[in-house]
Amino acid sequence: MSGRAREFLEKWKSEHVEPVANGKRLQEATRLVLKCRDDATCAGIPPHELRTAVQNDMIRNMLAALDAAAHLRDEAEPELLLTA
């Protein structure tokens, strides 16, 4: 697995993935995969390296990132209510 592809992907997700409504998750995951692939290509990371970094399942990887973003948002919401 390409270490540079994995590093690129983790940094990219931290900059681009934000929580979305459950009904929009698949559409958003698809959009993110296309954008990530384009950005990786521009950064000199070939598509096969990116696919290898996520075990050939970019959609599942982005869905997991969207789940994580939603989880972080849900954890933060009680704090927002307390400070409001």
Tens of pLDDT, residues 31-66:
999 999 999 999 999 999 999 999 999 999 999 999
- Assigned token pair, 22: 């459950």
DSSP the chain: --HHHHHHHHHHHHHH-----GGGHHHHHHHHHHHHHHHHHHTT--HHHHHHHTTT-HHHHHHHHHHHHHHHHHHHHHHHHHH-
Residue pLDDT, tens place only, 4-23 = 999 999 999 999 999 999 99
Structural domains of the chain, count: 1
What global pTM score does this model have?
Answer: 0.82
- No. of helices (H) and no. of strands (E), the chain: 4, 0
Domain that holds residue 46: 3-83
